C-alpha cells in the first residue's frame, strides 16, 4: 500500500539505539511509550476534560505542526537527493551522513503522523462531551506528550550533528565527538 506509514515508523523506532554499541535502548521505549500512557491514564483517572477552546487551540497547533514537519521531510529529501547526485565518495563518513539523513527524515515523518493523530483526537475533543470528552482529552494529552518527547529527541540529534561538524571544521577529525544517533549500520 502506497500510503502505509509502517516503514517510517520502523525506521523511527530503529533510532532508539545506544550510540556506543548500536543495541536497542529499552529505556527509550519505556520513556517514549510509558510517560504518555501514564499522562493519559492520570488524565482519564481524574476525568480531565479540556474546554472546547483549548481543544481547538491544540488542534490548530497539531495541524500546523504536522504540515511543518511534512515540509521538513521534503527538505531532507531534497537535500539527500542533491547530495547523492554529487556522487560522494564511499566510506564511513558518507555512510554516517546517509544514515543520519534517513533517520532524521523518518523522525520528522513519524512526528508528522503523531501530529495528525493528535489533531484527529483534538477534533473529537472539540465536538464531544461527557465520557467521550474525557477519553479524547486523555488520549490527546498523552499523544501530545509523546510528540514533545520525539521532538526533543530530534532536536538533540540535530544539535549533536551540528556540534560534530563544527568540531571537524575547528580542529579536524581528532576532536570529533560521538553522535547520539551513530550505530553500527553501514551503507
Backbone angles phi, psi at 24, to 5 degrees: -60, 140
Residue 155 lies in a domain: yes
> Residue 41 is placed in which grid cell?
491514564
Give whole-number Cα distances, 96 to 14, 100, 103, 128, in Å: 15, 6, 11, 48
Structure letter (DSSP) for residue 91: S
Residue 24: strand, helix, or coil: strand
Flag whether 109 is in a domain: yes
Number of domains comprising the chain: 1
pLDDT-based confidence at 185, cuts 50/70/90?
very low
Residue 120 domain-assigned (yes or no): yes
Closest CA to 125 of 142, 112, 111, 101: 142
Q: How far apart are CA 104 and CA 154, in angstroms?
A: 7
Q: Which residues contact 48 (CB under 8 A, 6 or more apart)?
A: 134, 137, 138, 141
Domain, as residue range, for 125: 27-175
What does the block give as the cell for 143? Answer: 499523544
The per-residue pLDDT for 50 is 97
Question: With bands split at pLDDT 50, 70 and 90, how would you rate the model's confidence at 173?
Answer: low
Q: Is the pLDDT of residue 187 over 60?
A: no
| Contact assessment for residue 131 and residue 18, using Cβ atoms and an 8 Å cutoff | no
Strand, coil or helix: what is 20?
coil
Please write the tens of the pLDDT for every residue from 120-162: 999 999 999 999 999 999 999 999 999 999 999 989 888 988 8
Q: Tell me, yes or no, whether 124 lies in a domain.
A: yes
pLDDT tens across 12-69, in order? Answer: 999 998 877 888 889 999 999 999 999 999 999 999 999 999 999 999 999 999 999 9
Residue pLDDT, tens place only, 67-110: 999 999 999 999 999 999 999 999 988 898 899 899 999 999 99
Look at residue 13 and tell me if it is in a domain. no
Residue-wise pLDDT for 1-25, tens only, equals 677 899 999 999 999 988 778 888 8
Please state whether the predicted TM-score (pTM) of the whole model is above 0.75.
Answer: yes
Domain presence at residue 5: no
pLDDT of 167 higher than 90: no
* Residue 20 lies inside a defined structural domain of this protein: no
Query: Does 181 score more than 80 pLDDT?
Result: no
- Side-chain half-sphere exposure of 2, counting CA atoms within 13 A: 0
| Closest of 186, 115, 122 to residue 150, by C-alpha | 115
What is residue 77's predicted lDDT score, i.e. its pLDDT? 94
Q: What is the pLDDT of residue 73?
A: 94
pLDDT at residue number 172: 65
Burial class of 177 by CB neighbour count within 10 A (0 to 12, 13 to 18, 19+): exposed
The reply to whether 185 falls in a domain is no
Amino acid at each position: 500500500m502506497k500510503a502505509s506509514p509502517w516503514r517510517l515508523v520502523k525506521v523511527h523506532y530503529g533510532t532508539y539505539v545506544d550510540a556506543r554499541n548500536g543495541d536497542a535502548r529499552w529505556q527509550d521505549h519505556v520513556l517514549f511509550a510509558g510517560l504518555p500512557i501514564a499522562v493519559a491514564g492520570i488524565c482519564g483517572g481524574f476525568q480531565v476534560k479540556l474546554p472546547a477552546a483549548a481543544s481547538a487551540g491544540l488542534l490548530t497547533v497539531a495541524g500546523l505542526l504536522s504540515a511543518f514537519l511534512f515540509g521538513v521531510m521534503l527538505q531532507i529529501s531534497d537535500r539527500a537527493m542533491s547530495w547523492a547526485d554529487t556522487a560522494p565518495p564511499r566510506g564511513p563518513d558518507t555512510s554516517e551522513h546517509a544514515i543520519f539523513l534517513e533517520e532524521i527524515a523518518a523522525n520528522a515523518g513519524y512526528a508528522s503522523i503523531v501530529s495528525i493523530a493528535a489533531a484527529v483526537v483534538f477534533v473529537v475533543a472539540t465536538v464531544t462531551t461527557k465520557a467521550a470528552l474525557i477519553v479524547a482529552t486523555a488520549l490527546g494529552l498523552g499523544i501530545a506528550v509523546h510528540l514533545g518527547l520525539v521532538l526533543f529527541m530530534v532536536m538533540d540529534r540535530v544539535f549533536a550533528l551540528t556540534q560534530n561538524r563544527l568540531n571537524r571544521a575547528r580542529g579536524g577529525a581528532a576532536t570529533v565527538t560521538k553522535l547520539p544517533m551513530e550505530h553500527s549500520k553501514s551503507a
